[in-house]
Amino acid sequence: MFLTMLGMWCLCILYFNPRFIVLLAGPESIAAKIFLCIFLILLDLFWFYVFFHLTIIGFSYFFQSKSYPAKEVFPKPCNEDCNPSVALLYTTRNDFQEQALLTHLNQDYSRYHIFVLDDSDLPEYKARIDDFSALYPKKVSVIRRLERGGFKAGNLNNALRKIGPEYEFFSVSDSDTFLPQNYITRLLPFISDPAVAFAQSAQRIDPKQESLFAQFLGINTDIHFKHYASTKNRFGFVMWYGHGALMRRDVWEKIGGFPEIVTEDLAYSMLVRQAGYSGVFVDEVVCREDFPPTYKQYRKRNEKWIRGTTECLLKFFPSFFKCPSVPWFEKMDVLVSGVSLLLDFPFLCFMIITGILLPFSFPYFQFQGPMFKMPVLIDKAPLVLVTQLKANLFWSWDIFIMMLLAVFAPIIPVFIDYRRCPRQIARFTGAYIYCFFALQFVSSFHVLITLFTGRTVFPVTGEKENKSYDLQKDWVGLSHANLNLIFCGEFLMGIFFLILGLATYNIWFLPVAFALCISPFLFKWNMDLTIVKYAVFLPLVMTLGIIYFIGRGLPWM
């Protein structure tokens, strides 16, 4: 799969890059040529991810899920003659959900116990947890700690040390994890194999969520597990997703516990592979989870993923990359998948270079509506080519197709799987395009602050309380996703892009500008206000309009 991906990308580079490289022969300044080189590097990066998504999605449709010897060797489902003790660890911090925890009590397996790992600091949540556990004293225990260091991983490590070796296997759940009744019995056969460290279940969005925001974007969870997790199970790196997995305690002990960082799931998965173990993804076992119900909570989750992934790759990927026992394509999968979460910063740089630096230093990158003024007569000598303006080279039909793929490749499964639900496709696509543009500024900020400080945070997605922060006390260590200062920066950048786009005729800035300007209003009212709900679709409408005008003016022959 990864050889296919790399092969198509290399052919793309060989086909497209020469028409840009030839521009370096012109009389422009060194600075202009440096900007051009950076532009080309970033363009090649984005085109790689076009083939990354196309290849994985294509393989997901044409290749069946991996079959395991464990399904044939071990009992299925695990019967009473094979009933080791299992600890179900339910993690929560000011976001307790009784209905989710009730599904943990409804397992068709005898020897298990539920441990509520409560890191809450609000009395009302502690009281609710204590009341719930009092109803089921034989099945539910509560574990709390005085020092809340190490984020979620520290909470898990503390609980597993207290529980002791009595439980051979354990499962990790988030506060919104809904387990199927056969969760334990269907996953136990897989991790009965000593070489398998964890069995990861599939995740689906809870269809009962009432939030419009979750209804618009929630199918993204389903798409990921149906197409990405299942395909990587056979051809790539199998990752523990931090919840919904049954795990071996002996492997946890050998690894030395969960790495106490924000993205402990990815770090632990890499350490497992380095130690010679593997994980399996079991798509027939399906757990339910909530999608962030508000834009506010979505931004918090986005910050956790970006800052946590940046920290994890810096600290753990070098040793994983050097490990000789891990196949090269798994190393590539970890790096490429991790970096895919951090592409907002390169995209913001690409916009600045393409829309500001190149037009002011390179005459052929000046805009005329949606199209560059670039030459097309490729039968001329290179020097003549870059000094004579004849037609448009950049927006030729082939690059137009690549642009469409870059925009829509990650969501192709939405158009295929939900082809009979056009309303769902429209709602998801509008919200997806909006969030992509609206989070450019804050996501880039998350990457930079983690790179320069090495500090990260663990904002709890489901935590609904508004907390006041002392910015002077520990500004770096705070969650920045929803600070007023960040929203001011987003709004000002949106106004700047709007003015710049109108002044330079670069209409590509307009969808981003409107998304950034709408962001504070969506944060305040979510989609409860009708005008805000429909304003979210503006970036998609503008993007489709730009695509239409480019396609209409293309020299197709």
- H/E segment holding residue 36: helix 30-62
Listed range (17-21, 389-393, 449-453, 538-542) with the worst mean pLDDT: 389-393
In the structure, what pLDDT confidence band is assigned to residue 8 with cuts at 50, 70 and 90? Answer: very high
pLDDT average, residue stretch 444-463: 78
Listed range (18-27, 93-102, 200-209, 405-414) with the worst mean pLDDT: 18-27
Burial tier of 410 (Cβ tally within 10 Å: 0-12, 13-18, 19+): buried
Instruction: Decide: helix, strand or coil at residue 330.
Output: helix
| pLDDT tens profile 523-554 | 988 888 889 999 999 999 999 988 887 777 66
Beta strand 169-173 with 86-92 is parallel
Residue 116 token pair: 């509520």
pLDDT at 422 over 70: yes
**289 with 432: CB under 8 angstroms?**
no
Angle at 161 between CA 158 and CA 167, to 5 degrees: 125
Nearest Cα to 230, choosing from 108, 57, 84?
57
352/346 Cα distance (integer angstroms): 10
465/123 Cα distance (integer angstroms): 12
138/273 Cα distance (integer angstroms): 36
pLDDT of residue 500: 83
pLDDT of residue 104: 94
Peptide bond into 327 cis (omega under 30): no
Q: Which residues contact 257 (CB under 8 A, 6 or more apart)?
A: 153, 157, 160
Residue 269 token pair: 């998965």
Q: Write the class of the CATH domain 70-319.
A: alpha beta
pLDDT average, residue stretch 5-18: 93
265/304 Cα distance (integer angstroms): 12
Domain range summary for the chain, segments of one domain joined by +: 70-319
pLDDT of residue 381: 46
Percent of the chain residues topping a pLDDT of 90:
57
pLDDT of residue 476: 64
Listed range (177-186, 366-375, 421-430, 433-442) with the worst mean pLDDT: 366-375
pLDDT of residue 165: 86
Angle at 150 between CA 147 and CA 151, to 5 degrees: 95
Angle at 362 between CA 359 and CA 366, to 5 degrees: 35
- Backbone dihedral angles phi then psi of residue 194, each to the nearest 5 degrees: -60, -20
Listed range (65-79, 257-271, 453-467, 488-502) with the worst mean pLDDT: 65-79
With the CA atoms of 300, 301, 302 and 307 taken in that order, what torsion angle do they form, in degrees rounded to the nearest 10?
90
Listed range (75-79, 128-132, 302-306) with the worst mean pLDDT: 75-79
User: CA-CA distances (angstroms) from residue 428 to 418, 420, 422?
Assistant: 10, 14, 10
In the structure, what pLDDT confidence band is assigned to residue 375 with cuts at 50, 70 and 90? Answer: very low
pLDDT of residue 392: 45
Nearest Cα to 204, choosing from 146, 269, 283, 135?
283
Identity of the residue numbered 206: D
pLDDT of residue 386: 46
If one compares 7 and 72, the residue with the highest pLDDT of the two is 7
pLDDT average, residue stretch 3-25: 89
In the structure, what pLDDT confidence band is assigned to residue 463 with cuts at 50, 70 and 90? Answer: low
25/147 Cα distance (integer angstroms): 62
In the structure, what pLDDT confidence band is assigned to residue 79 with cuts at 50, 70 and 90? Answer: low
Question: Does this model's pTM top 0.75?
Answer: yes
If one compares 289 and 468, the residue with the highest pLDDT of the two is 289
SS3 content of the chain, % helix, strand, coil (to 5): 60, 10, 30
- Backbone dihedral angles phi then psi of residue 167, each to the nearest 5 degrees: -100, 115
* Mean pLDDT rounded to a whole number for the chain: 85
259/279 Cα distance (integer angstroms): 17
17/41 Cα distance (integer angstroms): 10
Angle at 103 between CA 157 and CA 213, to 5 degrees: 90
Beta bridge partners of 282: 201
| pLDDT tens profile 195-236 | 999 999 999 998 888 899 999 999 999 999 999 999 999 899
**543 with 407: CB under 8 angstroms?**
yes
pLDDT of residue 253: 94
Residue 140 token pair: 């539910």
Other Cβ atoms less than 10 A from the Cβ of 122: the count is 14
In the structure, what pLDDT confidence band is assigned to residue 74 with cuts at 50, 70 and 90? Answer: very low
Q: Which stretches of 323-343 are DSSP H helices?
A: 328-340
**350 with 364: CB under 8 angstroms?**
no
Beta strand 140-143 with 169-173 is unpaired
Nearest Cα to 153, choosing from 255, 252, 264?
264
Give the position of tokens 């696509």: 429
350/342 Cα distance (integer angstroms): 14
Beta bridge partners of 116: 90, 142
pLDDT at 425 over 60: yes
Q: Edge-to-edge strands of the sheet including 278-289?
A: 140-143, 112-118, 86-92, 169-173, 245-248, 196-205, 278-289
382/442 Cα distance (integer angstroms): 41
